[in-house]
A = this chain, B = another copy of it.
């Protein structure tokens, strides 16, 4: 196939678009791959669509190789199935909702667990039918609060979503592993630099879950990895190693101290260290109690929640929200304090919380036998040596404290370092949440129903176009890996000479005949403009046909390395074919 730039619907841009925040967005827009149509809505121009299709094809091949079967659902879906699983409500403002002409409620599908479960229920009935895995490559919709970074986070995007249906947990684990392996093959074939991290499961419900994150400084997700082991995890999923419990017998009694003007941890520590108590306190010795309120989906009223954590740590909102999901969480307002006068701002302690029935969850570091400086529930007073398990017993633990570089790795090997990534894949062991919602059973060999267990697995296909661009570019433009590039060879006609034009056309025709996809720059532009566009567009191999042709040579340039080689024109075609075919 020869694509002529003289007629190709492509206009490269010299300037970055005003709203482009990240390299992939800048370069995909400047290279004429995508155009913005609406907030979070992009059109795919010819070269962009080719890259998208190439990625789709790799995903499809690897999914088919697992035995998964491709089907396709509508994007416009009725409310009822999503009502049955409560996701109509849980998705909150992220869901695009609409009514049809009769007033019936519809949504634009963000993921399709409900529909796949219902479809399998409709077709299958016997245990002999299972296991089965189905997938689709389909357009999804999410009304992001802040669509950003071009196609990295759009409101309409292409996803591969698949769903496994198994009779038992072992089957689910096997289906999960098959997906995990397929995802590794897919992301390897795409040439991506990525990590697999333990993840929370978001609004999907369920248990085991991992995310594939492409490493990128522009990523929205922060993850941590161990300096010594292979451990990597989304910050939301990092578990805090609990220290060993300590005896409570024979420990000093808790003592209330008058600590005037110490509403902050810093002022409190300073005060105590100046109070002649005979030891040195740090912020880590204090127990900070953060007051919040939570509300379950569909509920009207808020419930108070207190989170106790070492005073040297802040609450990480994302970890907090992940820990409490699907409940909403909010800070207290003045009126909440007014309604609960036992909450003495700056001096809240476990005592008043537990005495007044406030749910009290603590950081995993707060174990039995640890002693804390904390609020005494009275202005300007703190209590020292308040012992967990003796003086107070929390209602449970919560992973809400910030994770820091240097924290011990949860697997015990090394410490954590932070990096940023972009989510490119997500695999979940959903379990029976959806099967329960729709009574998805198989009739067993003993004629008893077996409740099906599901997995759900997603790849952000259109996002991958941007992720690859994010990982593979330089200041001059895009650098596509061969397997997804919009063409194999970019032939630049560098001169107006009849012989140069004819020579380039001849080479393009021969490359085409050899089965290569050729992008031929036959425009009436200057060689300088054409070279710049070739760098911007990013086809991996550039063939320059110019003055050297008179001496029987053409130039082959490697877009990634910048390396140029002169090649005799009569061996140029086999040379390029072997380059492309590897």
A49: contacting residue among B39, B70, B124, CB under 8 A = B70
Contacts of A98 in B (CB 8 A): 96-98, 108
Per-position 1/0 for A63-85, Cβ under 8 A of B: 00001011111111110000000
Question: Is B101 within 8 A of A69, CB to CB?
Answer: no
- A88 in contact (CB, < 8 A): no
Contacts of A72 in B (CB 8 A): 43-44, 49, 52
Question: Is A101 within 8 A of B93, CB to CB?
Answer: yes
Per-position 1/0 for A28-41, Cβ under 8 A of B: 00001001011101
Question: Is B74 within 8 A of A11, CB to CB?
Answer: no
Of A78, A132, A143, most B-chain CB atoms within 10 Å: A143
Q: How far is the CB of A194 from chain B (nearest CB, A)?
A: 26
Question: Is A101 within 8 A of B156, CB to CB?
Answer: no
- A7 in contact (CB, < 8 A): yes
Contacts of A122 in B (CB 8 A): 35
Identity of the chain B residue whose Cβ is nearest the Cβ of A46 in the assembled complex: B69
Please measure, in the bound complex, the distance between the C-alpha atom of A132 and the C-alpha atom of B45, giving whole angstroms.
Answer: 13
Please measure, in the bound complex, the distance between the C-alpha atom of A239 and the C-alpha atom of B77, giving whole angstroms.
Answer: 43
Give the residues from 151 to 193 in chain A that come closer than 8 angstroms, CB to CB, to chain B. 155-156
Contacts of A485 in B (CB 8 A): none
Q: How far is the CB of A434 from chain B (nearest CB, A)?
A: 16
- A141 in contact (CB, < 8 A): yes
Contacts of A271 in B (CB 8 A): none
Contacts of A143 in B (CB 8 A): 100-101
Contacts of A46 in B (CB 8 A): 69-71
- A317 in contact (CB, < 8 A): no
Q: How far is the CB of A79 from chain B (nearest CB, A)?
A: 10
Are A119 and B41 also in contact (CB < 8 A) when A75-B156, A76-B96 are? no
- A580 in contact (CB, < 8 A): no
Identity of the chain B residue whose Cβ is nearest the Cβ of A78 in the assembled complex: B38
Question: Is B71 within 8 A of A45, CB to CB?
Answer: yes
Question: Is B38 within 8 A of A106, CB to CB?
Answer: yes
Please measure, in the bound complex, the distance between the C-alpha atom of A94 and the C-alpha atom of B100, giving whole angstroms.
Answer: 9
Please measure, in the bound complex, the distance between the C-alpha atom of A124 and the C-alpha atom of B132, giving whole angstroms.
Answer: 49
- A464 in contact (CB, < 8 A): no
Per-position 1/0 for A89-126, Cβ under 8 A of B: 00001101110110000101000000100010011100
Q: How far is the CB of A153 from chain B (nearest CB, A)?
A: 14
Q: How far is the CB of A142 from chain B (nearest CB, A)?
A: 10
- A413 in contact (CB, < 8 A): no
Question: Is A124 within 8 A of B43, CB to CB?
Answer: no
- A134 in contact (CB, < 8 A): yes
Ordered by A's residue number, 11 sampled pairs between the chains whose C-beta atoms are within 8 Å are: A11-B124, A37-B77, A38-B76, A38-B77, A38-B106, A41-B76, A43-B73, A43-B74, A45-B71, A100-B155, A101-B145
- A residues at B contact (CB < 8 Å): 7-11, 32, 35, 37-39, 41-46, 49, 52, 67, 69-78, 93-94, 96-98, 100-101, 106, 108, 115, 119, 122-124, 132, 134, 139, 141, 143, 145, 155-156
